[in-house]
Structure 1
Amino acid sequence: MCEHQPHCPPVHAPDRGAAHLVAFHPEQGWWLLCNGLVVFDDAGELMPDGRSVPARLRERAA
């Protein structure tokens, strides 16, 4: 699917968010990466198979 060199990380890799940006819609709060992952501005993700990955909890600075 990815034609970049080096290839983008696959969607199940821990660094999947490092894939190239394909489409960006900030007014709607999401962007599409080359590996098929949809990332939302709240840090949630939608996998190509339709599974959702909840937003990661952010640590508060003490």
Structure 2
Amino acid sequence: MCQHQPTCPTADSPDREAARLSAHHPEQGWSLLCNGVLLFEDTGELLPDGQIIAPHRPLAAGRVVKAA
């Protein structure tokens, strides 16, 4: 899929988010990477095989989360 030199990380690689952008639609909240990963604004991902990666945005520094 990727034609860059050096090639971008594959979709199953831990550093898959380092691949180059193929399409970018910030108004819709998503980007397509050249390795086929669909990257969402909330940091969630959809891999080419249909696997879902839950959002993994870090909490803001100094923020305290209260238990319900």
TM-score normalized with structure 1 length: 0.92
Runs of 4+ in structure 1 deviating by more than 2 angstroms, as ranges, are none
Structure 2 residue runs of 5 or longer lacking an equivalent are: 63-68
* CA root-mean-square deviation: 1.0
Give the equivalent residue in structure 1 for 2:3: 3
The question of whether the paired residues in 1 share the 8 Å contact of 2:44 and 2:53 is answered with yes
Q: Does 1:32 align with 2:42?
A: no
Rg bigger for which structure? 2
Give the equivalent residue in structure 2 for 1:17: 17
Letter in 1 for 2:22: V
Which whole-Å deviations, capped at 9, do the CAs of 1:12-59 have from their partners, x for residues lacking one? 111100001000011110000000000000000000011110001414
Structure 1 residue runs of 5 or longer lacking an equivalent are: none
Q: Percent identity?
A: 55
